[in-house]
A = this chain, B = another copy of it.
Amino acid sequence: MDATAATVAPEGRFVDDYLLSLLARASHAISAEFHATLRRAGVQVPVWRVLASLTGSEGETVTGLADACLLQQPTMTKLLDRMVRDGLVRRLPDARDRRVVRIQMTQRGEALVRDLLVQARQHEATVLARFPDIGAQQLKELLRAIATRPARGARRREAA
């Protein structure tokens, strides 16, 4: 886009047509719906994210959980401190690599996440039901494709 094609900002806000904003808002809006459920259950959002990330894959590492939950590693360490304190997870040493800490849900953690998972799947279904034209798998594949970017500096040159 060069200056010649630029009609001088007659439209509304930049962010209302900016892909990254729209993505963030879509995510935030949908998540906010479920956060109401979490609030009712007295569970903080990051706590839910950790428990959900451990569901179907016990024994994640601290860094692995941080990535999954979109948090920094030190943030995850401190979050896990609280969750251990609250009896939701425990830390276990890795058998092969003593640097690694593996995180496991306690019974209390599993019990807590069990109900939430039911509601999460229910909510997901209602969200998907709002878009009958779009297949769930199709939408999820698109989002996965967006998330697994090929660009860690590799594609920068070809931009213009």
A residues bordering B, Cβ < 8 Å?
1-3, 6, 9-34, 36, 49, 52-53, 55-57, 68, 70, 117, 120-128, 130-131, 134, 136-137, 139-140, 142-152, 154-156, 158-160
Contact in complex: A1, B121 (CB < 8 Å): yes
Main secondary structure on A side of the interface with B: helix
CA distance A32 to B57 in the complex (A): 26
Contact in complex: A125, B159 (CB < 8 Å): yes
Contact in complex: A24, B130 (CB < 8 Å): no
CA distance A107 to B19 in the complex (A): 26
Which residues of B are found within 8 Å of A57, using beta-carbon distances?
A: 12-13
Q: Sample 10 A-B pairs with CB under 8 A, ordered by A number.
A: A13-B53, A14-B56, A15-B55, A17-B140, A18-B124, A20-B31, A25-B160, A26-B144, A30-B146, A131-B142
Which residues of B are found within 8 Å of A134, using beta-carbon distances?
A: 142
- CB closest residue in chain B, given A34: B20
Least distance between A116 CB and chain B CB atoms (Å):
10
Contact in complex: A146, B26 (CB < 8 Å): yes
- CB closest residue in chain B, given A16: B56
Most chain B CB within 10 A, of A134, A150, A156, is at A156
